[in-house]
Structures are given as C-alpha cells and as structure tokens.
Amino acid sequence: MRSPFRPDFPPDPAILDDHKPLIRSLERRGLIRGGLSLGALVMLTGCDVRRPEAIESALLAISRLNDGVQALLFDPKKLAPTYPDSMILRPPKFNAYYDVMDVKPVNGTAWRLEVSGLVADKRAWTVSDLQALPQTSMVIKHICVEGWSYIGGWTGVALRLFLERVGADLRAKYVAFKTADNYPSSIDMASALHPQTLLALEYGGETLADPFGFPMRLRTAVKLGYKNPKWVTAIEVTNDYPGGYWESLGFPWFAGI
C-alpha cells in the first residue's frame, strides 16, 4: 500500500548529486564532531558500522576514563570471594590467544625471572629461589571477559612480598610482565600489592602444568582472566604505561573485578 505520507511529487534525486560534498561533510564531520554525544555513541557502537578513527579514539578515551574510575573505586583491602578446596576444577581450563597445540613448554631448570625498572635488587630469580620464599595459597574464581569462569586453587609467592624483597618502589604506577609466549601484560601497583595477587607456582597442590604457565604465572583475584599472564619471564616496575597484548587491540587496561 502506498504511504499516505508520501508527497505526490517527490523531490528530484539530482538534488542529492548537486549537494554531494555538503551532504558528505554533514554525515562525517557534522555527526562525528558536533554530534559526539553519549547517546549517539551508543547507537553507533550498537550497529555494525565501520568506525571512523575519530569514533575509535573517542571510545578509547571513554575506556580510559572507565579505567580511571575503576582505579578510584578499587579497595586494596577488600578480598575477592574464596572457595573450599573441594571446588577446585582439575585440570583448570586452558585459554590463550592461540590453541593448545601451539603451546611451547618452558624449561624450568634454565628459566630465569628477570627483574628490572624501579627496584633495588635486579638479580635474576630461579624457580627454587621463588620456592624458598614463603608460599601463599588461594582458591579463587578465574573470570574470563568472554563470559566463562571456573574455580581454581593456586599456590605461590605473594607479589607484594616479592616486590618488597627486590626493593621495588611501591609508589610506582605499574608492574609489567613479559612472558615466553610473547603476551606482555601490566597491572596497577595497588592491584599488584593486593593480598590475592600471586606469582603462582602450583595448581591444586601440584606443580603448574605446561599449558597453564609452568614454571610461573601471575594469578590475581582482582582482575579479569586476560590480566593473568602465563610463563612469566620478566617483571618490571615502572611509571611508564606498559600496555599489554589485548589492551593494544582495544581491551580495557584496568579490567578489575
């Protein structure tokens, strides 16, 4: 049926051609610069549009604002829920940015943990050095940004204790990690000092298995799963934003839970 609102004489489509440059500037610059309201952003991101770079950077700015708000809200004394040992999932769930067949096991004997940046003692650590430090255990939930979770039991050295031992500047902003699988990561100092942040050496009371980060990985109860690098080979204390693997692809950096 013909719409009753349709005019009898539609405008000549050639008008569009005549004013093409003007219309284009309206669509692009007008909408992006003038109309960059929060509401418009919701609409734009809800649709599958090719995001111009201006939108992309605006969204990243909002993501950084979110990071800042999360950092403000973070309570360094508040503990994440813990669970009984009987609830530990054995074996844990594997995940990486590649499938398990591409895991390259790390030789624990040759492995060294490099320490750099704002620390007094830059001596490299062996596995037995770490094992000789007081060990902490925690049964916590691993929560992935993709929506899945599982309960895991981790044992290792509290990162706070480690940072104190190496004489790290605890007022520095970031603790950054490098890994054997080229998955750089970093967390804020407040989360690094949280009592539920470990340099994990064991899972479920046994040495960490190869696919889960042997010989050492980060496990923190206050961050999403992708902030827990496996096969850690280097730790740096720094004031320069170190970023991370998924963060460089647009994931939020703070990622607190």
Partner 1 sequence: MVRGYLSAVASLLLAFVCGLLAFAGAAHAQSATPGGMPPPPGMSLAESAAVRFPQPVRVGDLLGRQVLRPVESQDVLGRVRRVVRDQNGQIMVVVNFGGFLGFGTRPIAVPADAMVLLGQDMEIVAFTPNQLQQFPTFSPSGTTDVADDTIIKVGLAKPSH
Dihedral pair phi/psi, residue 73, rounded to 5°: -80, -15
Contact between residue 193 and residue 76 where contact means Cβ atoms under 8 Å apart: yes
Stretch that binds partner 1, among 14-22, 23-31, 45-53, 164-172 (CB under 8 A): 45-53
Residue 59 engages partner 1 in binding (rule: CB under 8 A): yes
Contact between residue 246 and residue 188 where contact means Cβ atoms under 8 Å apart: no
Residue 100 engages partner 1 in binding (rule: CB under 8 A): yes
From 32, 63, 133, 238, residue interacting with partner 1 (rule: CB under 8 A): 63
b/e burial code for range 105-124 (CB count within 10 A of at least 16 → b) = ebebeebebebebbbeeeee
Give the max Cα distance, the chain.
87
Residue 90 engages partner 1 in binding (rule: CB under 8 A): yes
Residue 99 engages partner 1 in binding (rule: CB under 8 A): yes
Determine the Cα–Cα distance for residues 236 and 179; give it in Å rounded to an integer.
12
Residue 53 engages partner 1 in binding (rule: CB under 8 A): no
Residue 46 engages partner 1 in binding (rule: CB under 8 A): yes
- In angstroms, what is the minimal distance from the CB of 100 to partner 1? 5
From 31, 32, 66, 135, residue interacting with partner 1 (rule: CB under 8 A): 66
Residue 183 engages partner 1 in binding (rule: CB under 8 A): no
Bridge-based pairing of strands 232-238 and 114-117 is parallel
Length of the chain: 257
Q: Which residues bind partner 1 (CB under 8 A)?
A: 38-39, 41-42, 45-46, 51, 59-60, 62-63, 65-66, 69, 89-103, 145-146, 148, 150, 209-211, 246, 249-252
